[in-house]
Amino acid sequence: MKPATVAELDVITAAMPERLQLAVLLGSWCALRYGEVAELRRGDIDLNEGVVKVSRGVTWPNGIATVGTPKSRAGVRHVDIPPHILPAVRDHLERHVEKPKSALLFPATNGGHMHPRTFGKRFDKAREAAGRPDITFHTLRHTGATLAAQTGATLAELMERLGHSTQGAALRYQHAAKGRGKLIAASMSTMVEGAR
């Protein structure tokens, strides 16, 4: 699975309908699963702390939206929202979400949970606009996990951010990025210079 670039994420986000742009941002920059995003409610967003509280997800067995808890205790977590997307979170809450804390962030047009196929019809056009028809919603999560790893996040920090209970699951998101070796070497020199 090839992660999206930041430029591709920007194109995909901009190509989505306004009411769904934040879903792409949360899927990528917070590395959330589609079922977690589709079940998010106003009360799950803490703007003061800058976190998304993940404690539920929605699945569609036999085509019926079913809300449940994550597969493991590790799936229940608070994910720090990168500051650069906080304005989009605030804007979305003001313009697209009803006032009750129980209001879904991304409801279907007829109310209730937005089915992944419904979301996918809009997402397909957006990923085509980015020239990346291979990108799925899971690729967004994969991208967010890879970007977090590239910041120097430890394995334990990645596991917590992604809601993984095993190291193996989190390890698959740690990729060597082109040019990363030079950045690491430069950072080491900066650290030494700061210590002297």
Residues designated as active site: 33, 138, 141, 164, 173
CA pair distance 54, 175, nearest whole angstrom? 25
Residue-by-residue DSSP string for 50-106: TEEEE--EEE-GGG--EEE--SSGGGSEEEEPPGGGHHHHHHHHHHHS-SSTT-BSS
CA-to-CA separations, 18 to 91, 120, 137, 187, in angstroms, rounded: 10, 15, 17, 38
CA angle 184, 186, 187 (to 5 degrees): 65
CA-to-CA separations, 176 to 21, 137, 138, in angstroms, rounded: 28, 22, 19
